[in-house]
Structure formats: C-alpha cells, structure tokens
Chains A and B, each alone.
Chain A
Amino acid sequence: MQPVAISVDAPEVSRNLASKAGYTFPILSDPNAETIRRYHLLHKGGGPESSDISRPAEFLVDSSSVVRWVNFTEDVRVRAKADEMLAAAKGLK
C-alpha cells in the first residue's frame, strides 16, 4: 500500500515536512484546492487567516481507482490509526 499525502501546502513546505519527519512517501501540492474540491473536502476559511484548506480525510483506493475504505474524522484531534488503515489495506487482494 502506497501512502500519498495531499494538502494546500506548496512543494517547498512539504519538502521541509518530509525531511524533518523522515517521510518517504509522496506529498502532493494542491495550492488552489482544486483536487480538494473535487473530493468534496474543502474547509472554507478553516486555515490561518481564513485560508481555504482541506478537512482531514483518508481514502484507500484500489488499482482500478475504486475507493475501498474512507475515514472522515469528526474531530481534527483524533487521527486515523495505523492499524485501522493496515487492516483495510489487507482486505484488498
């Protein structure tokens, strides 16, 4: 399973995050929140200075582009657990 992170952050900001946190998976930039909108995840004014950002959400997508598992947290402080995501991924064969 390949994790891919997406946010409105610019590539330089994400590069910083990746190197500081030691992430090796792709981190993609969606500065105009176009893809975020396409996924219906826009959180208007939810960021600093009322900027538009994404609400947190995870989608497990199989090789035919079909969504198999989603996680929409009701509370930004509660994170999706690694074991939940791995269990969902293991269900895909």
Chain B
Amino acid sequence: MPETTQRRRNLAPWAGLLLGLVAILSNAAFFMAIPGQRAIPFLSWTLAVIALVFALTGVMRAFRQPQVYGGKVSSSVLAVITILIVGLTAFASVHSRDLPASAGAPQPGQKAPDFTLADTSGNKVSLDQLLGPASSAAASAGGASPTAATGVTVAGGNTSVAPPLLNAPKAVLLIFYRGYW
C-alpha cells in the first residue's frame, strides 16, 4: 500500500544554524559606524535563544515524527554546531560586559583628579597644562618649576616639563582605554 503520511522537509535545524551565525556575526556590527550599537548585545542574545529553539525543535521533530520529518543525524549534527556557535556568542558577550563597577569614579560636578603622565615623546604632561595657562598656576605633581608657566622649557632628559599649550582649549576629553593595542 502506498504511504499516505505527508513528508515534510526538516528545515528547523537549518534555521537554527542560520540564526546562530547571525547572532555571532552581529559582533562585526560593533566595528561599523552605525546608529543603535547599544541594541546589538540584546538583539544578539534574542537571536541566539531563537536559534536554540529552532535547533531543538528540529531534533525533536526528527526523532518523534520520523515518518514526517527526516534527518535524525543531520538535525543532531546541526544542533550541536548551533549550540557551539551560541555558546561562543554567549561567552563573548559575557566577557565584554565583565567590567568593574567604578562606583567611586568622578561624576559630573566633581573635580577631576590631577595627574602628570608621559606623552608619546616622553614629556611629562599634567592635567593643569592640558587645561591651559589659566589653571596651570597651581604646581602640578612632581614640583614643576615656576618657569614652566611662562612657556620656557626646562632643559634636561626625560623629566623636562612641556610648556602649556598655546591655544587653551575650553575643555579636555579624557579617554581612558584598555590599551594593549
């Protein structure tokens, strides 16, 4: 007697794999100058969860309804790959968000702590100097000599203090970054 059960293609595992790939590849969007970057981690998680649902659905269909859906082996293999990709996506996401609380950092309205650090030429630069001559009257850390305020460079090796910038900026944007570029 001819088979009357309708055969259906088991596409769920493929959909799961595809969504998993989109979820992990969405990390590339962080490197593009597009608006709405902050939404990417949320979208990525959502896609990853949906990918897992599809993968498991595909496996369940293949094993519970073998007359309708084929692919016990293929769906299992695809599901394992999808789980691995989703796992990687989750790991990358958790790792990128594992940051210290920084509760004590200066907030708007508070004074920015002073500092004196070496620039790329080895010259010592202080926050006062960066902010301009008006605020460099106070001695920066390390005991800068008064001549620094008049724009005369103190001679001598790596400890020379750079003269204040000529065109004093209205503000300074301090960009702290991870380094190890």
**Choice from A6, A13, A51, A63 contacting B176 with Cβ under 8 Å:** A6
Question: Contacts A48-B180, A65-B131, A74-B99 hold; do A26 and B108 have CB atoms under 8 A apart?
Answer: no
Question: Contacts A67-B109, A70-B108, A76-B178 hold; do A60 and B171 have CB atoms under 8 A apart?
Answer: yes
**Choice from A9, A43, A66 contacting B100 with Cβ under 8 Å:** A43
Interface: B3 (CB within 8 A)? no
Question: Contacts A40-B105, A62-B171 hold; do A8 and B120 have CB atoms under 8 A apart?
Answer: no
On whether the beta carbons of A13 and B181 are closer than 8 Å, the reply is yes
On whether the beta carbons of B112 and A65 are closer than 8 Å, the reply is yes
Tally of contact residues, B, Cβ under 8 A: 54
The distance in angstroms between the C-alpha atoms of A36 and B4, with both chains bound, is 72
**Choice from B98, B99, B105, B108 contacting A68 with Cβ under 8 Å:** B108
On whether the beta carbons of A4 and B172 are closer than 8 Å, the reply is yes
On whether the beta carbons of A58 and B174 are closer than 8 Å, the reply is yes
Minimum distance in angstroms from A73 CB to a CB of chain B: 8
- Which B residues are in CB contact (< 8 Å) with A47? 178-180
Minimum distance in angstroms from B134 CB to a CB of chain A: 6
B-contacting residues, A45-75, CB 8 Å: 46-48, 51, 53-70, 72-75
Q: Which of A4, A13, A27, A48 has the most CB of B within 10 A?
A: A4
Question: Contacts A4-B172, A74-B99, A77-B30 hold; do A54 and B41 have CB atoms under 8 A apart?
Answer: no
- Which A residues are in CB contact (< 8 Å) with B110? 66-67
On whether the beta carbons of A4 and B177 are closer than 8 Å, the reply is no
On whether the beta carbons of B171 and A4 are closer than 8 Å, the reply is no
The distance in angstroms between the C-alpha atoms of A55 and B179, with both chains bound, is 10
Residues of A within 8 A of B (CB): 1-9, 11, 13-18, 26-30, 34-36, 38-44, 46-48, 51, 53-70, 72-79, 81, 85, 89, 92-93
